[in-house]
Amino acid sequence: DSHIQYERVGADVTMKCGSMDWDAAVTWTANGTDIDESHLNGSYLILKNVDLSQSGQYSCYEGSSWHLKYQTYLRVGTPPKEPVLMCRSNNYPKGFYCSWHLPTPTYIPNSFNISVIHGTKEMVCEKDAIPKNRCHIRYLQLFSTVKYKVTLTVTNALGKNFTTLTFDEFAIVKPDPPESVVAKPVPNNPRRLEVSWQNPSSWPDPESFPLKFFLRYRPLILDQWQHVELSDGTLHTITDAYAGKEYIIQVAAKDNDIGTWSDWSVAVHATPWTEEPKHLTTEAQITETTSASTSSFMAPPTTKICDKGAMVGSGAVAVCWTAGLVVAAYSVLFI
Amino acid sequence: MAGADSPSTALRRRDLCTRGIRLVGKMRSDVIDLLDTYVERQGLDASASVAAVEGVPPAAVERWDEQTGTQRLLENLAAYRAFRTLLAQMLEEQREQLGEADAALGRALASVLLQVSAFAYHLEELLQLESRSPPSEEGDGPPPQPHLSLFEQKLRGLGVLRELAQWAVRSSRDLRQLAKPSPGTGSAPGLAESP
């Protein structure tokens, strides 16, 4: 006869060769390979301190006839640790789902049972086909102050464990991140980026249950994020972007009144509009070079630092004396 | 069956709903602050479970999405009228127990009571817009309370404020449902009344 035998890691296992006497001559195999006689006590197979690698098919044959007398499938594993359980409503007010997993594998099959109680009422948590460690519940009541109590029990051949979660209706509301986030430069505006997004498609009724949003953005070259909270609408224009720098932008969502913020959306990248550089022809380059030596240095208006009257020197190296002092001061600092 | 709204009625409803949503949002924020103050000043445990208190209208509702607009307004009005009486009782009890020793709590309670009254009036206006007179208040209000110990009064107060906070969320959703334009008919959804 053949069956499955479950044993804990570290246990000592004794296998009998079916109904054979202790002193019968037998041969044991593990996955078709003969087992050394040192592991035998008479016709019993002794496995001490079993580990996961010793899982497999064990067979016992009568010594002379090689008749198969006993076969078992040994599965070495562990009893379950306390499972990790999470419940969340990403489709409020329709319902919520609970999902779970084990913190460490047991290496043997486990079964899960979940119970949901609201006040005195037991609710049905319908298991999802995929993923199979998840079930969902439809709200029968809204705006209740009575807490929900969810208990998950995990059982396998070596033991059982459980965990309980207690929460109120509002606390577990957490939308999915906003979708279709798009960031575009604004023509002729070197410091603006226009960001748009959509409500998560899983949020069933944004009109009656509006979402608010949190937008964060930073140039790739910096670590610090800027944040903006937006109470309505799915469009925002960033007006303080650094010109010419590529930005990374993300958006999160939250119900206007209750629950917690979603995870951040997929990040999008965008660079503000910049003016196209002028391309010069060869003749133009020559004309430019000829005139450069005769024109005086002209600082751009925003960076004007001194008047014409304060100039010293002449021609291409004309420098105002104030600028000269500044340069000299920096030079002293770095010597 | 109610006929289609005139454009001015629809606009007025939308305006009242928008203002009502703002009013109830501010009220909820103040109730949550008041809850923190109340728990602290009354020496209560914030996580204490309070059984359903007689006379406190529960915000919990089944099949919320199937309610008509008139049902929403009537249930809201009944609730806020009850809260008006309950908060007035709490204010009286607080003054008797603590007197001037805790003027801040008294002021916070009075402020919320004022907002509850204002919102009840707002709901009456919305009902009148639906050509429906608000029900009279005779015989309304929570039943007379048996004499409660000081601790029971405090717990009851906690229950009142918690339920009011729930109602504030529900009312915001109710008004948003009311404010939704109904496609084709020009009337808000769920406002059809039985003949």
For residue B191, give both structure tokens.
Answer: 């406002």
End-to-end CA distance of chain A: 92
* Min Cα–Cα distance to chain B from A238, Å: 27
Last residue of a domain, one of A139, A167, A195: A167
| Mean pLDDT of chain A, nearest integer | 87
Which one of B53, B164, B169 makes the best mutation probe of the A interface by having the most chain A beta carbons within 10 Å? B169
- The answer to whether A143 touches A65, Cβ cutoff 8 Å, is no
Give how far Cα A40 sits from Cα of A9, A17, A65, A267, B144, Å: 20, 11, 19, 63, 84
> Best interface-test mutation with B: which of A208, A209, A212, A258 has the largest number of B CBs within 10 A?
A208
Q: Which of A93, A145, A208 sits opposite B166 (nearest CB)?
A: A145
pLDDT at B105: 87
A144 touches chain B (CB under 8 A): yes
Q: How far apart are CA A261 and CA A211, in angstroms?
A: 10
Same structural domain for residues A39 and A114?
no
In this structure, are A136 and A186 located in the same domain?
A: no
pLDDT, residue B139, reads 54
Mutation for B interface: A118, A123, A143, A146, most B CBs within 10 A: A143
**One domain for residues A162 and A191:** no
The reported pTM is: 0.79
Distance CA A250, CA A261 (A): 13
Residues of chain B in contact with residue A140, where contact means CB-CB under 8 angstroms, are 62
Pair of tokens at residue A227:
């944040």
Q: How confident is the model at residue A297 (pLDDT cuts 50, 70, 90)?
A: very low
Token pair, residue A103, equals: 């913190």
Minimal Cα distance from B181: which residue of A?
A207
Task: Tell me which residue range forms the domain holding A231.
Answer: 179-270
The one-letter amino acid code at B65 reads D
Which long-range contacts does B151-156 make (Cβ < 8 Å, 24+ apart)?
B153/B93, B153/B97, B154/B42, B154/B43, B154/B44, B155/B44, B155/B48, B155/B50, B156/B50, B156/B53, B156/B56
Last residue of a domain, one of A145, A167, A189: A167
Q: Point out the residue among B25, B162, B176 whose CB comes nearest to the CB of A207.
A: B176
Q: Is residue A260 part of a domain?
A: yes
Q: Which of A251-260, A283-292, B88-97, B125-134 has the highest mean pLDDT?
A: A251-260
- Measured CA to CA in angstroms, residue B59 lies from A171, B92, B173, B183 at distances of 16, 24, 12, 29
Name, in order, each residue with C-beta under 8 angstroms of A143's C-beta and a sequence gap of 6 or more.
Answer: A169, B59, B60, B61, B64, B166, B167, B169, B170
Residues in B closer than 8 angstroms to A123, CB to CB, are none
Q: Which residue has better confidence, A182 or B1?
A: A182
Question: What are the chain A neighbours of B180 within 8 Å (beta carbons)?
Answer: 207-208
Site of tokens 């009456």: B124
pLDDT at A318: 44
Residue A326 lies in a domain: no
Q: Is any Cβ of chain B less than 8 angstroms from the Cβ of A208?
A: yes
* CA–CA distance, A166 with A77 (Å, rounded to integer): 31
**pLDDT tens digit string along A47-58?**
999 999 999 999
Per-domain residue ranges for chain B?
9-59+67-136+149-179
Listed as ranges, residues in chain B with pLDDT below 50 are: 1-2, 184-195
CA distances from A87 to A2, A150, A174 (A): 42, 9, 10
Within 10 angstroms of residue A5's Cβ, the number of other Cβ atoms is 13
In a domain, A288, yes or no: no
Distance CA A305, CA A320 (A): 9
Q: How far is CA A229 from the centre of its chain?
A: 23
Asked if residue A284 belongs to a domain, the reply is: no
Single-letter residue type at B139: G
Task: Enumerate the residues of chain A whose CB falls inside 8 A of the CB of residue B170.
Answer: 142-143
Q: Check residue A139 and report its DSSP letter.
A: -
pLDDT tens readout for residues A74-126: 999 999 999 999 999 999 999 999 999 999 999 999 999 999 999 999 999 99
Q: Which of A270, A287, A306 is the last residue of a domain?
A: A270
**Same domain for A199 and A260:** yes
Least CB-CB distance to B173: which of A140, A141, A209? A209
Inside any domain, residue A264: yes
Interface contact flag, B62 A209, Cβ < 8 Å: no
Number of domains in chain A: 3
Chain A partners within 8 Å of B172 (Cβ): 256-257
Kindly report the nearest CA distance between residue B145 and chain A, in angstroms: 22
**pLDDT on residue B151:** 84
Assembly ipTM: 0.86
Q: For position B183, what pLDDT does the model report?
A: 55
CB A319 within 8 A of CB A297: yes
Closest CA to A161 of A78, A103, A83: A83
Kindly identify which residue of chain A lies nearest to residue B178, measuring between CA atoms.
Answer: A208
Terminal alpha carbon distance of chain B = 6
* Whether residue A310 has pLDDT greater than 70: no
- How far apart (Å, rounded) are the C-alpha atoms in residues A303 and A15? 90
Residue at A209 is within a domain: yes
Q: Are B62 and A258 inside 8 Å of each other by CB? A: no
What the block records as the tokens of A219 is 């140039």
What percentage of chain A reaches a pLDDT higher than 70? 82
Q: Which of A142, A168, A255 to mutate to test the interface with B (most CBs of B within 10 A)?
A: A142
pLDDT at A293 over 60: no
CATH assignment, B9-59+67-136+149-179? 1.20.1250.10
